[in-house]
Amino acid sequence: PNPARLIDGKALAARLRGKLQQKIQDWVEQGKPRPGLAVILVGADPASAVYVRNKIKACKDVGIESFHHTFGADLSEAALLAQIAELNADPNVHGILVQLPLPKHIDPQKVIEAIDPAKDVDGFHPANVGLLAIGKPRFIPCTPFGVMKMLEDEQVQLRGATACVVGASNIVGKPMTLLLQAAGATVTICNSKTRDLAFHTKHADVLVVATGRPKMITGDMIKPGAVVIDVGINRLDDGSLCGDVDFESANTVASAITPVPGGVGPMTIAMLLANCLGSAKAHH
């Protein structure tokens, strides 16, 4: 069997960042305020530290000002909420991002709800989730937004297609389902209790996997010719990264597939930057 076409998220993200950089330059040259993103990191989770560093570097590259707030894991919930209130009131800040996960003594939902919905560039605030659900999105969560951009760039026909999303988290699976459905796909969303997962995955023309279970989707669970999007980022014992899809076996069945790394990850960051510019424009 022929190997699947590789969906190069890294290259697409670079193209999108180039366009954004131009748009931001034009915006600033018109005398408009430079977009600003505040990034809050609490604690020393090494993966989170890498994500935050990448986001800040990406901001710099496209001309978004970033404001970096790092706190020890002992930061109180009240202090974090006070920091967010300060950023909500800061006119130079158009986007506020709190890197998850947070230390156990802090309620992430409370923190998300403290962010001004007009600065919630992650799109996690209930007001923004609601807007997305009724088809009037303000901020689309970055990872599913990036997946949609990849599908669009690949010219994948979603109208009338059968899609399956494996994983039902608030940050990936659920918003992914809403977006695919809005694009005209018939969508099934699976979770850890799903009986006969392969039955569902095997019917999907478009399969999106976001479970955090390394290589759990194997080639025999995929419909021949399907487009497979692997959101998972898992670090194996040998230090290498892998997705939630078993690339080796999936690659011989799918028509197109995202690699890990170099697939969805870079797209997530590109869409965060796009949301920041969108927010700066909306604030102006």
Query: Which residues are part of the catalytic machinery?
Result: 55, 99, 122
Q: Does 191 bind ligand NDP (CB under 6 A)?
A: yes
Closer residue to ligand NDP (CB): 62 or 190: 190
255 is in an annotated binding site: no
Q: Does 231 bind ligand NDP (CB under 6 A)?
A: yes
168 is in an annotated binding site: yes
Closer residue to ligand NDP (CB): 158 or 272: 272
- Find the part of the chain contacting ligand NDP (CB under 6 A) among 68-76, 111-119, 160-168, 175-183: 160-168
Closer residue to ligand NDP (CB): 163 or 210: 210
Q: Does 210 bind ligand NDP (CB under 6 A)?
A: yes
Give strand pairing partners of 250: none
Q: Does 99 bind ligand NDP (CB under 6 A)?
A: no
Shortest Å, Cβ 26 to ligand NDP? 28
Q: Could you say which of 265, 272, 274, 277 contacts ligand NDP (CB under 6 A)?
A: 265
Q: Looking only at residues 114 through 153 of this chain, which bind ligand NDP when binding is defined by CB under 6 A?
A: 143
Q: Could you say which of 211, 251, 258, 279 contacts ligand NDP (CB under 6 A)?
A: 211
The footprint of ligand NDP (CB under 6 A) covers 143, 166-169, 171-173, 190-194, 197, 210-213, 216, 231-234, 244, 264-265, 268
Binding residues for NADP(+): 167-169, 233
